[in-house]
Structure 1
Amino acid sequence: MKIAVTYENGQVFQHFGHCKLFCLADTETGSRELIDPMGEGHGALAGFLQAHGVDALICGGIGGGARVALAQAGITLYPGVTGDVEAAIAALQNGTLNYNPDTVCNHHHDHGEGHSCGSHACGEDKHGCGGN
């Protein structure tokens, strides 16, 4: 199994769509690799992870569109996770990962009618994406 974890300074990064690094963990070989999605963005990240053979994603906050894209890519989602990346990987492997399947990134819903946040030129502080 290949597990991807949103990554920042050894911790689970809390905004999937703005993740600058993913830790890829291969459970068969025990290998770890940090990969840069090179600014892929919300929608394309699912395809990026799928192209890297990812089976499962551990992350903090995540929006509805990304959830759909991951499901369509066949990637199992474990959102609402905080803390150390290595601890999260180990917990998933042994069946004790503390995650919240209902976690959503709520800043996507704070805008007025007709507003699209596709380019994320707005709300740069991204409050509400902490996996709560």
Structure 2
Amino acid sequence: MLIAVASENGEVFQHFGHTPEFTVYEIEGGVVRGKRVLPTGDSGHGALAGFLRDLCVDLLICGGIGAGAQQALAEEGIKLVAGVQGTVDAVVTGYLNGTLKFATDFTCSHHHDHGEGHEHGGHCGGHCKH
């Protein structure tokens, strides 16, 4: 399983559409087996879902996220846990042991649909092997 956390300087980033990097954790048997930080470059809003899909991410943990980005993630088969704050290591540990605290009102209300197309349905197009 791969978990990505929207991050900046080791903290959960609070605006998904402007995420500067993802901290990606490889989980095996409920234990972290690897961790890497990947810059997003110029990716934004709709492209970030594809970025995560191409990495074969199973779950995204983030702060605020708009409805369009939520839909894009769902279309890619990526599970979402949002409304999260704290250090990336602590939130992943909390998720794995079932103690992660998250908000239920995590939508970025200033987001709106920019009409990005999402031509890939399903998770990773079947090419991911964890």
TM-score, normalised to structure 1, is 0.79
**Deviation for aligned residue 1:66:** 0.2
**CA–CA separation in structure 1 for the residues paired with 2:48 and 2:111:** 17
Identify which of 55, 64, 68 aligns with 2:67.
Answer: 64
Counterpart residue number, 1:38? 41
Runs of 4+ in 1 over 4 A off after TM superposition: none
Counterpart residue number, 1:128? none
Say which SS state the counterpart of residue 84 (structure 2) adopts: coil
**Deviation for aligned residue 1:103:** 1.3
The answer on 1:100 being equivalent to 2:81 is: no
The percent identity for this pair of structures is 51
**Deviation for aligned residue 1:9:** 1.2
**CA–CA separation in structure 2 for the residues paired with 1:10 and 1:90:** 14
**CA–CA separation in structure 2 for the residues paired with 1:48 and 1:117:** 17
**CA–CA separation in structure 2 for the residues paired with 1:50 and 1:83:** 24
Name structure 1 gaps, 5 residues minimum. 110-115, 119-132
Deviation readout 1:75-122 (Å, 9 max, x if unpaired): 11000000111000011111111112441001226xxxxxx768xxxx
**CA–CA separation in structure 1 for the residues paired with 2:45 and 2:58:** 18
Name structure 2 gaps, 5 residues minimum. 116-130
Counterpart residue number, 1:113? none
Deviation readout 1:16-47 (Å, 9 max, x if unpaired): 01011100000126210001121111001111
Aligned residue pairs, count: 112
Give matches, 1:1-132, under 5 Å.
1-28=1-28, 30-108=33-111
